[in-house]
Amino acid sequence: MAAGPPAIDPRPMTTILRPSPAPPATRRDPAVELRAVTKTHGAGDGRVTALDDVTLAFETGAATAIMGPSGSGKTTLLQCAAGLDRPDRGSVRVGDTELTDLGERALARLRRRRVGFVFQAFNLLPSLTAEQNVALPLRLAGERPRRRDVRAALDRVGLADRARHRPAQLSGGQQQRVAIARALIGDPQVIFADEPTGALDRASARDVLALLRAAVDEQGRTLVVVTHDPVVAAHADRVVFLADGRLADDLAGPTAEAVAERMTALEA
């Protein structure tokens, strides 16, 4: 397992406290597993093979980064793993649920509780406040989360005082933090993040990464991050490299330099 959280910018930030004790991280079944997954986009002349017979497992309670040059299929891989897209062939399991068997409704229910997302941008509905955005997955599930709990979730990402602001009134980093609060509120097993810091300045990026890292270390969640930035990848416990839709390399306990080296090798 990797070392503890990286150096944090010393600004006041509440440490993340989970209501109930975290289960110890042990070797167990992978949280997400892909087997022989193939996915193509487009048709005719425009046909592109995004994923070519990929088999991959993501460990429970660990942070995994997916890296690769653009066009390598990493976003497609994430979307298939998360149930946002359906592979043409192969199997995707989250826990012991086979995603390729599920219909749209079941997949939607999955996304409320068992799986959380953070995208690079446009994570929030512009017409809802931060509070309302955070509560959204639970409300879609038909529940009425208590205001306290929603505030607490926002508090954990340090934005309790911005609860009633709309996304347009928040900076990029603040929006990402709200997105993380939303991703966490349903107590998901797995969090998928697609370039979560891609549009942020360094300080905000550090905060976001710290939050995500804490979710893994202190709450035992599984994290899968797609990124092109070696610094971000270095925060993970393991990095997998994709090129041309196939697994190209695998690195455990990464450092930024090692990652950068592998990337250069791939792009050569």
Partner 1 sequence: MVALALRMLRTRAGSAAGTFVMLALAATVVALAGQVMASGLGAPGPGRYAAADAVVRADPEIAFGRGEDRVTVDVRRAAPLDAGAVARVAAVPGVRAAVGDVSVPIAVLDRAGRPLPASGGAAAHAHGWESAALTPYALRAGRPPRGPDDIVLDARLARAGGLTTGDRVRVVTPAGTRPMRVTGVAAASADQQARQSAAFVAADQAQALTGRGPGFDAIAVVAEDGRAPGDLRERVAVAAGPDAETLDHRHASAADPADPRAYEREALVAVVASSGGMTAAIAVFVVAGTLAFVVERRRRELALLRAVGATPGQVRRLLLGEVALVGLVAGVAGCALAALLAGPAAAVLTDVGLAPDGFRVDRHWIPDATAIATGAVVAVLASLVAVRRALAVRPGEALAEAAVPPRRTSIVRLLLGLAAVGGGIALLIVLGSQGVEFSGLFAFTFALGLALLAPVALGRPAGLLGVPLRRAGGGASFLAGTALATGARRTGAVAAAIALVIAIAATQSLTLATTQERTREVTAQRTAATAVLVPSSPAGLPPGLAREARALPGVAAAAGVVTTEVALLDGGLTNGDEPWTAAGLDPEQARGALDLRVLAGSLDAVRGRDVAVSDDLAGDRVEVGDVLDARLADATPARLRVVAIYDRADGLGDVVLDHDLALAHATAAVDDAVFVAARPGREGRVARGVERLARQDPAALALDRDGYLAGVRAAGADDARAQWVVIALMALLAAMSVVNSGALAAAEHRRELAPARLAGATRRQVLRALTLEALAVALVGVAGGVAVVAVSMSGVGADGSAGGLVVPFGEVGLILGAAAALGLAGMLVPAAIAARAPLAAGAGVRE
Asked if 246 is part of the footprint of partner 1 (rule: CB under 8 A), the reply reads: no
Q: Which is nearer to partner 1, 144 or 148 (CB)?
A: 144
Q: Which is nearer to partner 1, 96 or 104 (CB)?
A: 104
Q: Which of 8-16, 130-138, 235-243, 257-265 is the region at the interface with partner 1 (rule: CB under 8 A)?
A: 130-138
Size of the site for partner 1 (CB under 8 A): 31
Asked if 112 is part of the footprint of partner 1 (rule: CB under 8 A), the reply reads: yes
Q: Are 159 and 173 in contact (CB under 8 A)?
A: no
- Alpha carbons 212 and 56: distance in angstroms, whole number: 22
Q: Are 91 and 34 in contact (CB under 8 A)?
A: yes
> Smallest distance, Å, CB 73 to partner 1?
13
Q: What is the sign of the dihedral through the CA atoms of 20, 181, 166 and 145?
A: negative
- Alpha carbons 231 and 242: distance in angstroms, whole number: 17
Asked if 97 is part of the footprint of partner 1 (rule: CB under 8 A), the reply reads: no
Binding partner 1 (rule: CB under 8 A), the pick from 14, 23, 122, 264 is: 122
For residue 31, how far is the Cα from the chain centroid?
13
Asked if 228 is part of the footprint of partner 1 (rule: CB under 8 A), the reply reads: no
Binding partner 1 (rule: CB under 8 A), the pick from 140, 203, 252, 265 is: 140
Supply the DSSP symbol for 50.
E
Nearest to 175 by CA among 105, 231, 125: 125
Question: By three-state DSSP, how is residue 33 classified?
Answer: strand
Asked if 52 is part of the footprint of partner 1 (rule: CB under 8 A), the reply reads: no
Chain residues 164-223 in contact with partner 1, contact rule CB under 8 A = 182, 186
Q: Which residues contact 84 (CB under 8 A, 6 or more apart)?
A: none
Q: How far is CA 256 from CA 115, 178, 196, 253, in A?
A: 28, 27, 17, 10
Binding partner 1 (rule: CB under 8 A), the pick from 102, 128, 256, 266 is: 128
Asked if 55 is part of the footprint of partner 1 (rule: CB under 8 A), the reply reads: no
> Smallest distance, Å, CB 71 to partner 1?
13
Strand 222-226 vs strand 190-194: parallel, antiparallel, or unpaired?
Answer: parallel
As a three-state string, the secondary structure of 169-237 is HCCHHHHHHHHHHHHHHCCCCEEEEECCCCCCCHHHHHHHHHHHHHHHHHHCCEEEEECCCHHHHHCCC
Asked if 85 is part of the footprint of partner 1 (rule: CB under 8 A), the reply reads: yes
Asked if 102 is part of the footprint of partner 1 (rule: CB under 8 A), the reply reads: no
Give the x-and-dash track for 63-82 against partner 1 (CB under 8 A). Answer: -------------x--xx--
Q: Which is nearer to partner 1, 38 or 260 (CB)?
A: 38
Asked if 48 is part of the footprint of partner 1 (rule: CB under 8 A), the reply reads: no
Asked if 136 is part of the footprint of partner 1 (rule: CB under 8 A), the reply reads: yes
Residues that bind partner 1 (CB under 8 A): 76, 79-80, 84-86, 104-105, 108-113, 117, 119, 121-123, 125-128, 132, 136-137, 139-141, 182, 186
